Structure 1
Amino acid sequence: MQAPPFRLARTADASRDENSAAARLRAADACCAAPSSASFAGSKRRTRLAELDPNLHCSVIGTCLTTHELRKLVPKFAGLDRQHATDLEIHHTAVELAIAGGPGSKALHKALDERYAGAIRRFDQARDEDAVLALWNEALKNGDIPPAYWALMTHPCATMPVRQAAFGELHMLSHLVGAANRADIRRLVALEEENAALRDKLERQQSRLHEISTQRDAALAQLGEQIVKLTAEASRQPSLDTASLADEARALQARLAEADQRLALHTSRREAAEQRALQEQATAEALRESRDQALALLKVVQSECQALERATLDALDQPDARRAGLAGVAGKRVVYVGGRPGSNAALKALVTSAGGELVLHDGGLEDRKGLLAAALPGADLVVFPVDCIDHDSMNTLKRVCERHQVVYHPLRTASVASFIDLIARLQTERSASQSAAVSARPPSAFCLRHG
């Protein structure tokens, strides 16, 4: 619609300037022929739907009532099919009922009043045109247009200029809504295309599912036929003799009993073999430990024999006993606790000949144990054979040596070879430590020429 369906209101001065021909044309216009709401301006009641300008009914019906409401109401007063009539037919008939007045117009007016009772009460507070326009502008800002439009059109203070202003703003809003609808239509077209693609995909999937279902039904039918065939073949086979089945069962039971006996026999043999294996493993471990001990003892005996052999060879080559592997005891006092009388005498002679002193104590057999504590403080070295000394004397010896910080060494046996091997090892360790100390000592900064 390019222009409003009525002439815009004129001011009083402009009306006096119009010529008589224009006045006659205006008097012959349909809007002037219809009952004007200006005649009701002084009234305190609200304007009825039938009393509005006929050109306003289209905007009122289309804006303030939905098609669903009109479809339920209009067929009651017009010969329309509620199910098959189009929305345009329903709207056109409702406008005709509003213009014609009568029961249809009253029903439409009542429906509008019931639906927008809140807006009508709010607009009833307005006492002049400005207040009505202020409420209308507020409704435009809030977007609550249909209730405000109906309340404005039927308000007692609403004049033709007020209604024209509301109609014009509603008309422009329809253009804006049309532009938005065009964008929505474009989106709707895109959605419809997507919906069509999805519908095609769904149809293909349903076709595939139908094909799979058909194949499954065919496979089930084939399996059913095979089951029926196998059942028929099984029913045609002759039944086995009950006696032969009993004989076969007894034979199987006998074989099962024999197998159980063999299983028990093999189980017992396996357990016996496991026990023998464990015993042999323990025996092998004990033999291994015994072998390791024998090898260690052999190594010690070999060391003692080599020490004794070197001492003997040195004694033969050099009569001086200081070269007989006992140079480490020269000038030292050695206390020997325990041992045997024969070997002790030989040891005393060897130490004495090497320039040392050997103090003998039998550990308390004939000598008093109190002499042991008195002899230890002045000793340089204390030795005792572990095979010829009692535990009490050995404990006392260790305790006194630790108290006086005297070095003590146990001997494997009371033999001469064990003693000579110990002295040789001590001498070797002492020489190695002295060599390490000399090599670690920094070189002297003394110069023979400059001092």
Structure 2
Amino acid sequence: MHTPPFRLADTTRLKLSGDDIADTGLRVADPCCTPAKVAVQNTRRRARLAELDGNLHCSIIGTCLSTHELRKLVPKFTGLDRRDASDLEIHHCAVELAIDGGAGAKALHKLLDEHYAAAIRRFDKADDDVALLALWDEALRNGDIPPAYWALMTHPYATLHVRQKAFGELHMLSHLVGAANRADIRRLVALEAENAELKEKVERQQSRLQEISMQRDATIAALNAQIAQLTELATRRTPAGDAGLEAELQHLREKLTDADQRVALHTSRREAAEQRVQQEQGAAAALRKSRDQALAQLKVMQSECDALEQATVDAAEDLNGADTRRASLASVRGKRIVYVGGRPGSNAALKRLVGAAGGDLVVHDGGVEDRKGLLAAALPGANIVVFPVDCIDHDSMNTLKRVCERHQIDYHPLRTASVASFVELMARLHPEHLAQLGNPPASAFCLRHG
């Protein structure tokens, strides 16, 4: 600044206010030569609704404002009818107003600020994005989502990363709410069907009770009419007939009481009959289920008996020198079968049958006397593995399945440890199926790891 063409006044001799003198006590320039003071303001402020990214408006409007509130505000700035417009149209127009940034956006912003003033004051305490995210996480745990979402989106320290994180978490919450609503809808449909059935049953019972009540009322009315007639006749007769009228009147009263008792008895019997019907229906369903299970088990046992009988006939023919190529156990000829579990008596019989048919049966008791470590070593090279489910421990069965799947060995569970179950399985397995087993592939078996 150029030096003025006049001498400045000595301000040290003037009585000045404290605002014109610096704290250091130095002389200050004349006010006419001092530049105007510029107030330094904080440029960080809360974002306006219209300044936010357009992709955030839908989530903010849908989460932070109810449809009732939007239905009162949006028609003031659009041509929508408040009563006829759908919720989707109201929401769509509110998002468009927020994007346009006009008076509608200002009204929406003002409404949101008024609703969530407390949350805005709470979030104003955050002085960086880390503290802001901490407040947001606390709101998520408490379930107070709408106030926290609006306060976070417009906060001065809400960076792009912070808004994207909040938007993503709100988006995933909407998926969880939708899945829960679908489950609630399914339960509601089932409950409505059950409710309709119960209502129909109650209506039938009410109709029956109403019918019984109408019959009782009709009977009472008829008896009252008879009583009235008899009373009128009694007043006209001589005193000599009063005794007979009184007796007839007492008889009618007793008849009326008896009718009431019969109605009550029939009502209690009907209720007891309905209860017995429900109990009988449950018992019938249980009996049907038990019968189906018994029939299935009978069918299996019949097939086992047939197979055992056929094997016995084939063994008899074999002893007589007949051709046994079509025998039930001929399919195991030249095959190596591993039998795990069972009982000693039946296992010995099975070993003799398979040996007589030209096969090789390797028996392992599943760990009772034989070491379980030998179980995995006996499986490689086997054509088929068989084990009875009623005579084997779970550990051996799980180990057996795992090793068979690893070495691609066909395995079959038996219903029982009987000879009949084994013979039925061998007869049921088609010979071509066993032939396909052939020679098993080269095994990568390890004595240590199985």
TM (norm. structure 2) is 0.39
Structure with bigger gyration radius: 1
TM-score, normalised with respect to structure 1: 0.39
